Amino acid sequence: MKTGTLTLIPTPLSEVGELEPVAFKTLLEAATNDAENSVFVIEDLKPGRRRWLGFKLPRETIESFVQYNEHTAAEAAKDLLSKLQQGKNVFLMSDGGLPAFYDPGVELVNLCHQNKIRVTSTPFFNSISLSIALSGFSHRKFWFEGFLPIEATERQASIKNIMNLKTTSILMDTPYRLKRVLEEFQAAWGSSKKKLFVAMDLNTETEELRRGTPKELLDVINDFKREFVVIVSE
């Protein structure tokens, strides 16, 4: 059976803000033409319904909303995972901003990765925040390494530092260096229990999200010349 997809839907911070056009189109299509196969998840019922109606999305949909927050996440995540495994598509929204970025949605994203469920997002303007949200990794604290140095010795030192950190780390490099980055982490990996998450070509038709060890990623990624963000976590 084909599994469903978890889609993060970033929403305006202000209740009077307009929903991003692709997000609006995605939700409208799901609510009108694929309602039986779609599950809409919000943080809190009252503000979620108010926002939905403010976006001018179908009123009848608000009766089927699933509430997902710090109080309901433990049970709701299991139920949503089951629906995804049955082929339902789940659309996750917060009360404002990027879902799964420093909120309970991270638990659902993590479950999806663990169970080979596809995760994606409608457009978001910041690749770092979006990559963190899509990774499913814990990020109560994180270190932003930025672009790795060009010089080999400095690169090795940066990677060694990242491997020694207890917090989640985020790094970037130029598109043609993705394979080199993974190979450098493989050389420094040893018996580490950490995992890598690579977000490639975010918000494009060729978007690809992968989690695993450096060797596992080197084995499954076919195209290494692409925009990417790498996240390293326990």
Instruction: Write down which residue in 124, 146, 167 finishes a domain.
Output: 124
Of 98, 124, 150, which marks where a domain is finished? 124
How far, in whole angstroms, is CA 123 from its chain's centroid? Answer: 12
In a domain, 149, yes or no: yes
Each residue's pLDDT, cut to its tens digit, for the chain (234 residues) gives 799 999 999 999 988 889 999 999 999 999 999 999 999 999 999 999 999 999 999 999 999 999 999 999 999 999 999 999 999 999 999 989 999 999 999 999 999 999 999 999 999 999 999 999 999 999 989 999 999 999 999 999 999 999 999 999 999 999 999 999 999 999 999 999 999 999 999 999 999 999 999 999 999 999 999 999 999 998
Is beta strand 142-147 parallel, antiparallel or unpaired with respect to 118-121? unpaired
Rounded (5°) CA angle 155-158-163: 125
Number of domains the chain is built from: 2
Spatial CA neighbour of 11 closest among 98, 70, 141: 98
First to last CA, the chain: 32
In a domain, 129, yes or no: no
d(CA 150, CA 169): 19
CB-CB contact of 84 with 112 (8 Å): yes
33/144 same-domain check: no
Contact indicator for 87, 37 with CB cutoff of 8 Å: yes
Count the neighbouring beta carbons within 10 Å of the beta carbon of residue 1: 6
Separation between Cα atoms, residue 89 and residue 81, nearest integer Å:
10
**Which of 124, 157, 176 is the last residue in one of the domains?**
124
* Per-residue pLDDT at 1: 76
CATH code for the domain in which residue 203 is found: 3.30.950.10
Q: Helix (H, G, I), strand (E, B), or coil: what is residue 177?
A: helix
- Are residues 185 and 197 in contact, defined by beta-carbon separation less than 8 angstroms? no
As a whole number of angstroms, the distance between CA 126 and CA 52 comes to 23
* pTM (predicted TM-score): 0.95
